[in-house]
Structure 1
Amino acid sequence: MTHDLVIRAARAILPTGEEPASVAIDGGRIVAVGALDAAMPADVEIALGPDEVLMPGGVDTHVHVNEPGRTEWEGFDSATRAARAGGVTTLIDMPLNSIPPTVSPEALAVKRAVAAEKSHVTVGFWGGAVPENLGSLRELWDAGVFGFKCFLAPSGVDEFGHLDRAQLRAAMEEIAGFGGLLIVHAEDPEVLAAHEDGVGRGYGSFVASRPEEAETSAIAAVIDGVRATGVRAHILHLSAASALPLVAAAKAEGLPLTAETCPHYLTFDAEHIDDGATQFKCCPPIRSEANRDALWDALADGIIDFVASDHSPATADLKLAGAGDFSVAWGGIAGLQVALPAVWTGARLRGYPLAAVSAWTSAIPAAWAGLATKGAIEAGRDADLVSFAPEEPWEVHAAALEHRNKVTAFDGRALAGRVRRVWIAGSETAEGVLLDRP
């Protein structure tokens, strides 16, 4: 038979590792994977260059698109253009900071209607668990969200309230009842309140205001709740190395707990962030160099399951508010487009192969989210593919990135690895589609 498309690559990331391969595609799906010189007649054949690697498209499960309601911060058009430019072919949108937040089926319908007209990659949606919708989460689950995000400390926006310990347990019991998934921003508000004074322009003061204890205390509460209810739970944007033994012990106990970290925690360290540099502000914060190295070790050991961008942009006036005062500026890192090269740059310095980076940014998050047709180059999967040049050096220039507001902690950072081409459903021009939970 003659296939729609065959891509041949001397280097391809397959489930078995990196090896030469030819990939045959029909109707947007991979139908066969064979040797580099396999006989695969096709209407179109593409041979990647010797410096390029064929990889499965990235799956970023932690993106704040912010539309509708705060489209001046970001939006589905700009966010999904940035995703595609960075080799991310599937993303799952967080339930805040849009207005309305995705805390009801009606709000989900509003967001889906907006996204349907503007998305350049495949998009799914998280729901929110807030004090006002406890007891009615099943309706949002049945409407197709992938799970429920909650905060254990104030979220930063008034319309998305945080859960106290009793409300957290109630949400866990409710979500466990229908087999759902709870994803948690785990910081303890009492710990934060005890350290909130005297932040100002000092980056060290900002880190001290959100100590590791805030994470470890909150994560311990989540683990207690998982043990009591059996709910599947996930720790978002883990930054504190001191929390890793808690996560490791919970996993060893067999509890259904997973965790992620983010490119900025794997790239930057507190020792090299200047006072007043609020483009680096995020919560929980970027911590020390030794802490960063411990996160890498935990990722390699499987204590941390995967990497997600936590792309959380804002307008420049909010991000740089207060003339460098960390207590005033908005917290969030815009890194969606640079996530893959940023993680690869750090990984190659530590001797981790590109196949491991692909697993952390594609295969593992796809499997965790239940996206059985994403995250791998094998027959039966969607032909969401990326041509990546891992040795090409480049420097990030915020003004050249696709996301709406040109402020990012990665501005000026020297990285290795460029995305050259992206295929979604076997097409370099196809637009994205919206996903319900499988």
Structure 2
Amino acid sequence: MTPQIPERPQDAKADINGVSDDDRSGSRQAEEPIRRSRAANVFILILAGGLAVTAVAVLANFLTARSRDAVVEATPIDIKTPISGILVELRAKAGSAVSAGQSLGRVEDPRASGLELRNLKTSLLTAGSDLEELDEEVAKQRLLVETIRNDADQQQALEIERSSRELQRLEAEVRRSREEVAFIDRDLKRQQTLFRAGAVAETVVDRASTDLAREREQLAALEERLAGQKSVVAAARKNLTLTTTRSNFDPAVRLQEAKLKLQRLEGRRRTQAKRVEGLTKQLETAGVARGLQSESTLVSPRQAVVWRLLANQGDTLRAEAPVLQLIDCKDRFITTFVKESDLNRVRIGGPARIDLVGDSLDLRGEVATIRSGLGRVSLKDDTNPIPINLARESQVRVRILNDIPAPPLKFCYVGFTARVSFER
């Protein structure tokens, strides 16, 4: 028996023309245009923007050369101790900024010998005592010279006075003798006139003539004595004597001897003073040397950042042993490698951007040097040629500019991994 299939209601509702409702709705949809949603439009815009950004990035990548990853470096400064000893003080720590001339630590050597310094101090003390004694002797001798000079001056004055008085007496006698000679000469002439007149005897004339001759002799003797006395006065004025012999008790002789002794003492004093001056300079030099040998202060030569400590406080160090290491944050650089084919986009002095891996900050720099052919170039005569098909990369050194602050606690980004981009 065959089952009966019920008729669909829509089939029963077909119009008399034989067209169903489904056929009518399908024809209406075919006649209306297809409409996109708003989400579809946004998606298309985003896709177009992404394609534009990709195109710009491809163009920038074509115009920009990029290097391999490299490490930011800086100029290291090793601080060493000039002497052997114990690091008794260490004022710096890693990551701290230090200025030029700042004290970083102190090393002392308790075994440094001070024997030479003590010997020099003893010699200087002895030389100083001898100089003081010479000063006293010179002072006493100067006082003695002054006293003897006063005595000699007084003696000279007395000698001049006595000689002058004797000279005056002789001058008076000479005057009297000349007057007497003149009188006798006149009397002789009167007696001769009377004799010729016959008034007096010849003996009277002879007596007068004899008296005149004797008086003239006495006058001549007095004049000689007067000339001699004038010489005595002249000698006395020059502190000389023509009449006596001077002995060691004479003030003039004693004055000469005292002056000679004073000159010898002053010469010894000058020599001793120079010796004291020389010992003083030696002591100063020895003191400085002793200080340099027994104690040394570690000083920063420039403004820098402490990179690491190589010794601890209390350590025993040898001479020239490193104590700490500084880095100069103003002299930072990065040495990296680029493909030799990208060198046409890199130029000396050209700008560069340093992308730090460990920080979101980008640094600026400029190309300092370009060295190509490392490993493929030999600068000496070598019979074994280097293969040219080695890796063709060039070394580029970039100097980092200091226009961005370098934090000391991040060690000025030294040691950070970075990648360098070179722009045309």
TM-score normalised by the chain length of structure 1 = 0.16
Which fold has the larger relative contact order, with Cα–Cα distance below 8 Å and residues 6 or more apart in sequence? 2
